[in-house]
Amino acid sequence: MLNFLCKKCGRQHNVSMSYTFRAPHYYNLLTEEQQARNTLLEGDTCTISHPQAQHTDYFVRVTLTVPVKDRNTAFTWDIWTAIDHGDFFNYKQYISNFSAPEPPRYKGWIANMLPDYPGTCGLKGDIIPGTSPGQLNKFEPYETDHPLYVHFHEGIPMREAVSVAGTMCHEEAPAQDM
């Protein structure tokens, strides 16, 4: 938990540093009818069918952990990543029996807009499945000069962590994603 005096409203807040996106951003762009007809959102996987284009998008939920500099804490983002067709089915096969001694890595792209970070949809990285049932998948972004990559490796300064928490507290984040 993070306790801070909010610069936006002047009040004291005690908020979580763990945020979960309930669906990929692209899911939330669909109408309720399209969601009911063309998607399957269950557990840590999601598929979105585009019948007219004869194409399906595949997604896996992952955890992205961003350490807070000079603190023994972290921001934890449960986000969605796009994954290609073959890797999606390989991932599903892996999690059905967890038989590999080391979890495979799959290439993925962030599929949510994280508040206070510019353009996170499409950032590339590795999806690393959990090694047993119930263990969360992880995401490691590929090297770039994007602030999220920098924070992932070097930590987010506390003042920026407070800013993100303030945004989340006041629901300035894309509400349809959370």
**36 within some domain:** no
**147 within some domain:** yes
Domain that holds residue 119: 17-29+58-169
Beta strands 12-15; 39-42: pairing state: unpaired
From first to last of its 178 residues, what are the pLDDT tens digits of the chain? 777 787 778 888 887 788 889 999 999 999 999 999 999 999 999 999 998 889 999 999 999 999 999 888 898 999 999 999 999 999 999 998 887 788 899 999 999 999 889 999 999 999 999 988 888 899 999 999 999 999 999 999 988 888 887 787 766 444 445 5
Q: How far apart are CA 149 and CA 131, in angstroms?
A: 24
**68 within some domain:** yes
The answer to whether 48 and 38 are in contact (CB under 8 A) is yes
The tokens describing 24, both together, are 């990929």
Q: Count of domains in the chain?
A: 1
**125 within some domain:** yes
Q: How far, in Å, are 31, 114, 116, 125, 143 from residue 106 at the CA level?
A: 30, 21, 27, 8, 16
Assign residue 54 a region: left if phi > 0, alpha if psi is -120 to 50, beta otherwise? Answer: left
